[in-house]
Structure 1
């Protein structure tokens, strides 16, 4: 219980700090994004704590009109050049600090899935994953396990949550900050799929 309270405290402090001091950078990204896609902010329904739906906010990295599917199913041809930079640098995740501040998410936790990902929802349900807030980063992201492997992802999430403490919370954030993991990946072989 103490870890949960401490982690939520750090979530609030760090997300508020990031939103305030990162505002100039986010405004710059939004302006460039506007010229890139005319719609720099991307919002999508995800499943969070207690299996409640919430609206996740990110910077748009794909063309407007691209099908709303899990990242590993997305068409890589839909990613813009600027969007590719945002994904590789993980800067597309910055608006999610708002989700963290609101309490929809934590900085560290299982990556929130779409309501349509039935197999992953079942796997996560069996391991009680929805008893925790979803996160921006975590063990699965660092190990580059994406949602194309629902059973492995759920087990990795459970492993992370079982040992989650203030120490491992900072460990995952630090590993992400130094470039470990690749963020939300779009597999290149999806370029041929007609998803948009």
Structure 2
């Protein structure tokens, strides 16, 4: 399923500063970029890498256009409609995961992440939620995971639990992902 990840400072309900604002230089921004205009950007366009965030310095080093990261993210699926309930109805056997947290990078080359489910993991059988299950540790690369999306709902405003302070303006669809890697039972409650 083709997915598009983009930023747009003027996205309705997700508006953010249309220029770079930073109090200190770091990997994603330089104090010398303050005031640099931020326009709409497609990071992934229908499943293909379209752009990388760059400062003036990194753009010059990589011979890329200057593309500062914006303060919002929107993930959109071609033909995505409905919500999580609709995706559950189409699932014969699986898990409904409502929250991921304690996400940490394991391998930056493959973008392998690890983390835990939290506050709502449910068993789905025959298109219905049949009960709650325990929390799990997961090991997954978003790149690999996004290539296994079987179905998607409509994009809706969302707040990432762990990264809510860093990315408070996000909109994503519910996703049904084949083979999401729940690697072990979590002792966290």
Larger Rg: 2
RCO higher in 1 or 2 (8 Å CA, sep ≥ 6)?
A: 1
Q: Does TM, scored on the shorter chain, surpass 0.5?
A: no
TM-score, normalization by structure 2: 0.29
Higher percent of residues as helix: 1
Higher percent of residues as strand: 2
